[in-house]
């Protein structure tokens, strides 16, 4: 018998579960639980039906309870629920890797599977360090991230990441030998930008300064998000990524794009690197590859990077790295079904077609109460709210609460509201989302 989660919250013991990235004390005084999901909507246990403004956490572009994906998982669990990941595998892992390689930028055709974006980042960093070591460049151990960057919560990821709150409690654990180039957001130059800002390409030259400071033969890799999602949809200036690519190529530094959010259609192309015309050496992915249904992720590498490891006796392990659940059969079945559904429905083209709809809808909020900035790129946008004096973050939290009453599940970080609706959303649903946000802005103090 299927268990119903539409139960009275009062009957639940909320204390044992330590929730991630959540104000636990506040939440447990005002709990909000999801009972079910279908299409672009969640239904809460109290019966409220809310529009999924951020596709889960950037991970369900095809909407919830997608029949093709549900069916693929049901069939897979009845046939092969688990396959050892070491010295054995299964057909689905190879099929999915080949599909991803065909979608990736030209020359990037080797895929290593993980279980999350965080694991993907740490895997990419390890590959970068090991690649230089194999080639005899053992001094190349330095890694460079970017301010305000989010690369998951592994030790490697928070070390190269640049969000202060994610690092503050763990400074003694951070990987040594890491620098950060400046972030690219400047409110005075970029407020209310539509798409890529025209100012800021010169900020990439800060990488050249670090090369000159440390010596080019000490730097293994640079990691950036093509579009910074978790920091609040920070869009790269025109020419900025091209300049980073040029500096890395000149000095033999690997360029890693963290595409955990931008991969598989969020910016109107398979990957952000293709939309932006800049090809890195390694790409991390997760989230949308399984439509968020099964945890999964991976790293896509240039063939030359992969081939550098393929030395020594053929019976020897080339890379001592991996996970019990790498290429899990359930995740691979979900991934293959997700890519099938995206292809058959033209989901990525639909994402691109909805971009101008989202842009117009969100920028129509300019001039509304508390709005300090609006920016967008692909099917993603952010609204910065002016902080309440002495209470940073409280205004966005209030907007989140009022949003639920209005029929919206909004995502907020600090005083920024972020939206990234599912690709299946209609233009009218996106316009209605903006209309309801307008009402929320008028309701909050």
CA 29 to CA 31: how far, in whole Å? 6
pLDDT higher than 90, residue 6: no
- Read off the pLDDT of each residue in 197-211 and give the average, rounded to a whole number: 97
H-type alpha helices, 49-200:
55-58, 67-79, 91-103, 117-134, 155-160, 164-167, 187-190
Which one, of 378, 387, 439, 389, lies nearest residue 410 by Cα?
A: 439
Q: What is the DSSP string of 300-336?
A: EEEHHHHHHH--S-TTS-S-----TTTT-HHHHHHHH
* pLDDT at residue 373, as a whole number: 98
pLDDT classification of 10: cutoffs 50, 70, 90 = confident
Domains (ranges, CATH) in the chain?
Answer: 9-65+346-443 (3.90.1150.10), 70-345 (3.40.640.10)
* pLDDT at residue 95, as a whole number: 98
pLDDT classification of 7: cutoffs 50, 70, 90 = low
* pLDDT at residue 422, as a whole number: 98
* pLDDT at residue 162, as a whole number: 95
pLDDT higher than 90, residue 288: yes
pLDDT classification of 111: cutoffs 50, 70, 90 = very high
Q: How would you class 19 by CB atoms within 10 Å of its CB: exposed for 0-12, middle for 13-18, buried for 19 or more?
A: exposed
Give the H or E element holding residue 426.
Answer: none
pLDDT higher than 60, residue 53: yes
Name the token pair of 119. Answer: 């694991």
pLDDT higher than 90, residue 3: no
Residue 50 phi, psi dihedral angles, 5° rounding:
-125, 140
Are 179 and 144 spatial neighbours (Cβ–Cβ below 8 Å)? yes
Mean pLDDT of all residues belonging to the chain: 96
Taking each helix axis as running N to C, give the angle between helix 205-214 and helix 240-251, from 0 to 180 degrees, rounded to the nearest 10. Answer: 20
Residue 372 CA: distances (Å) to CA of 78, 366, 385, 419: 52, 8, 5, 16
* pLDDT at residue 435, as a whole number: 98
* pLDDT at residue 395, as a whole number: 97
Q: How would you class 249 by CB atoms within 10 Å of its CB: exposed for 0-12, middle for 13-18, buried for 19 or more?
A: exposed
CA 424 to CA 65: how far, in whole Å? 13
- Read off the pLDDT of each residue in 191-203 and give the average, rounded to a whole number: 97
Give the H or E element holding residue 244.
Answer: helix 240-251
pLDDT higher than 90, residue 2: no
Residue 413 phi, psi dihedral angles, 5° rounding:
-140, 125
pTM for this structure?
0.96
Number of H helices, E strands in the chain: 16, 15
pLDDT classification of 5: cutoffs 50, 70, 90 = very low
pLDDT higher than 90, residue 331: yes
CA 231 to chain centre: 11
Are 379 and 354 spatial neighbours (Cβ–Cβ below 8 Å)? yes
**Residue range 394-408, pLDDT digits in tens:** 999 999 999 999 999
CA 221 to CA 385: how far, in whole Å? 35
Edge to edge, the sheet with strand 178-181 lists 108-114, 297-302, 282-285, 254-258, 219-224, 142-146, 178-181
DSSP 8-state secondary structure symbol assigned to residue 422: -
């Amino acid at each position: 018998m299927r268990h119903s989660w539409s139960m009275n919250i009062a009957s639940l013991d909320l204390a044992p579960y330590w929730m991630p990235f959540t104000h636990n004390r506040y939440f447990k005084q005002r709990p909000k639980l999801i009972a079910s999901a279908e299409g672009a909507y969640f239904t809460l246990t109290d019966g409220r039906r809310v529009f999924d403004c951020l596709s889960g956490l950037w991970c369900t572009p095809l909407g919830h309870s997608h029949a093709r994906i549900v069916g693929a998982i049901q069939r897979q669990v009845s046939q092969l629920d688990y396959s050892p990941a070491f010295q054995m595998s299964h057909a689905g892992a190879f099929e999915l890797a080949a599909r991803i390689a065909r979608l990736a930028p030209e020359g990037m055709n080797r895929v290593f599977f993980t279980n999350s974006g965080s694991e993907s980042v740490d895997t990419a960093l390890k590959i970068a360090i090991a690649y230089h070591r194999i080639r005899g460049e053992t001094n190349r151990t330095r890694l460079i991230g970017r301010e305000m960057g989010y690369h998951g919560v592994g030790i490697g990821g928070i070390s190269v990441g640049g969000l202060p709150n994610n690092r503050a409690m763990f400074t003694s654990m951070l990987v040594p030998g890491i620098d950060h180039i400046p972030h690219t957001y400047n409110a005075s130059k970029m407020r209310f930008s539509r798409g890529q800002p025209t100012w800021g390409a010169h900020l990439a030259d800060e990488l050249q300064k670090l090369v000159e400071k440390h010596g080019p033969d000490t730097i293994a890799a640079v990691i950036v998000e093509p579009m910074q999602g978790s920091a609040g949809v920070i869009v790269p200036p025109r020419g900025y990524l091209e300049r980073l690519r040029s500096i890395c190529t000149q000095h033999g530094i690997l360029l890693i794009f963290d595409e955990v959010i931008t991969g598989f259609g969020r910016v109107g192309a398979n990957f952000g690197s293709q939309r932006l015309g800049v090809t890195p050496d390694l790409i991390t992915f997760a989230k949308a590859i399984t439509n968020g249904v099964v945890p999964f992720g991976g790293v896509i590498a240039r063939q030359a990077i992969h081939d550098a490891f393929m030395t020594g006796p053929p019976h020897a392990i080339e890379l001592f790295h991996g996970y019990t659940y790498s290429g899990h059969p359930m995740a691979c079945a979900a991934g293959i079904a997700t890519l099938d559904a995206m292809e058959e429905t033209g989901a990525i083209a639909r994402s691109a077609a909805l971009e101008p709809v989202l842009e117009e809808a969100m920028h129509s909020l300019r001039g509304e109460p508390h709005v300090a900035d609006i920016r967008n790129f692909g099917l993603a946008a952010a609204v910065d709210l002016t902080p309440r004096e002495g209470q940073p973050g409280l205004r966005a939290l209030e907007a989140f609460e009022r949003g639920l009453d209005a029929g919206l599940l909004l995502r907020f970080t600090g005083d920024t509201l972020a939206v990234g609706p599912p690709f299946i959303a209609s233009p009218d649903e996106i316009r209605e989302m903006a209309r309801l946000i307008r009402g929320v802005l008028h309701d909050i103090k």
